[in-house]
A and B are shown apart, each in its own frame.
Chain A
């Protein structure tokens, strides 16, 4: 099965700085990757996704980078704001077992 893990459980960022959250996955057959944001007391919320045939995708203030060679993806948040404080999960979809596997989550805290 797929194993998905985040490199750091917590990240403290100064407001206005850029944040980088890293994630590693184990299954080279994973085809599709998603980043979710979970605020306290709420369900995960979709942020951005990327297919395995891409290495970069940009959204509004967020960029996801995928390095299939080392099975690593990252989420970059530009000009981090207090509202970005949350737990961030990466998830990988595997067609082998047709399910979405989530990493453990990185808690991002934005300092004013």
Chain B
């Protein structure tokens, strides 16, 4: 158990819909990262927040957005969902935001868009 929690574990929705994925980092961790893992793309970095502020951006679509709240939990919002958005979405956390901070991954949310 990494100490990172994600809800829900599974999510099934329809195209065009909007969903919110939630992540609670490990106690004391200030950075939260979001990743998408699909069969054909592997693990793709989406976005990072550090202490409430956006720190780095990866291959995140404009239909997707995220935020980190004062209590440090984070939400990833996916809108106008398409079939290709079906994937595992992982959240990771680390103590700080530097390169050599070990990232601890949550169990993931499996999203299926029908």
Interface of A toward B, CB cutoff 8 Å: 31-32, 34, 36, 41-46, 49, 51, 89, 91, 93, 95, 97-105
A43 to chain B, nearest CB (A): 3
- Given known pairs A43-B2, A43-B106, A45-B2, the reply for A98 and B42 (CB within 8 Å) is no
Q: Which of A36, A42, A95 contacts B99 (CB 8 A)?
A: A95
Contact A45 B99 (CB under 8 A): no
Q: B48 contacts the other chain (Cβ, under 8 Å)? A: yes
5 contacts between A and B (CB under 8 A): A42-B107, A93-B99, A93-B100, A99-B48, A100-B33
Residues of chain B within 8 A (CB-CB) of A103 are 42
Interface of B toward A, CB cutoff 8 Å: 2, 4, 33, 42-45, 48, 55-56, 58, 90, 92, 99-100, 102-108
Closest residue of chain A to B45, judged by CB? A99
Contact A100 B90 (CB under 8 A): no
Contact A100 B100 (CB under 8 A): no
Contact B107 A43 (CB under 8 A): yes
Residues of chain B within 8 A (CB-CB) of A89 are 42-43
Bound state CA distance, A34 and B99, in angstroms?
A: 10
Bound state CA distance, A32 and B99, in angstroms?
A: 7
Q: Is the interface of A mostly helix, strand, loop or mixed?
A: strand
Known contacts A41-B107, A49-B100; can you find 15 more A-B pairs with CB under 8 A? A34-B102, A43-B4, A43-B92, A44-B105, A45-B2, A45-B105, A46-B102, A89-B42, A91-B43, A93-B100, A98-B55, A99-B56, A102-B42, A104-B42, A105-B42
- Given known pairs A43-B90, A44-B90, A105-B42, the reply for A100 and B2 (CB within 8 Å) is no
B65 to chain A, nearest CB (A): 18
A97 to chain B, nearest CB (A): 8
Residues of chain B within 8 A (CB-CB) of A45 are 2, 105
Contact A46 B103 (CB under 8 A): yes
B90 to chain A, nearest CB (A): 5
Bound state CA distance, A31 and B107, in angstroms?
A: 27
Contact A100 B45 (CB under 8 A): yes
Closest residue of chain A to B88, judged by CB? A43
Contact B43 A31 (CB under 8 A): no
